[in-house]
Structure 1
Amino acid sequence: MKESPVIHTARVFAWWFVVGATMALAVILLQGGIREAMQAQGSVWELKLVEFLTTILGGGLLGGCIALILDRIKKS
């Protein structure tokens, strides 16, 4: 049974979203950003956490969108 195009697109996006988010997290870890956040006090901790989450989500979105573009190019 052949996979529908919508399911295929969702699977490609989800896989590369996870890969992109993981790579963004790896960069944060390598740069020592987690240590900075752990040493922060009070509301600074919350701001750092929001900053990290947006960076990780941004990496995931970037990875997913690039994967969809390349998948579309590959099909044509």
Structure 2
Amino acid sequence: MTEVPAGDPRSAFEAMLTAALVAGRTPAASTVLGSQTWAAVDAVARAHPDATAEEIAVAYDAFAREHGLRPTAE
């Protein structure tokens, strides 16, 4: 399981996305990630080692939407 700082959604997201990209690890079910972000990171993990830039961008955009940040593509 990936160690993430408690209460820091950005760090948790980055750690889980990195684990998905590098090792194909799906995020834990009890994370600080919203459901759309979790699903997007899970999709990246399932595509390992062939995750596309689009799948990664979808994960960043989902995180941005669920945490009130600006999406990467406008």
TM-score, normalized by length of structure 1? 0.33
Whose radius of gyration is greater, 1 or 2?
A: 1
Higher relative contact order (CA 8 A, sep 6+): 1
TM-score, normalized by length of structure 2? 0.34
Where is the helix percentage greater, Structure 1 or Structure 2? 1
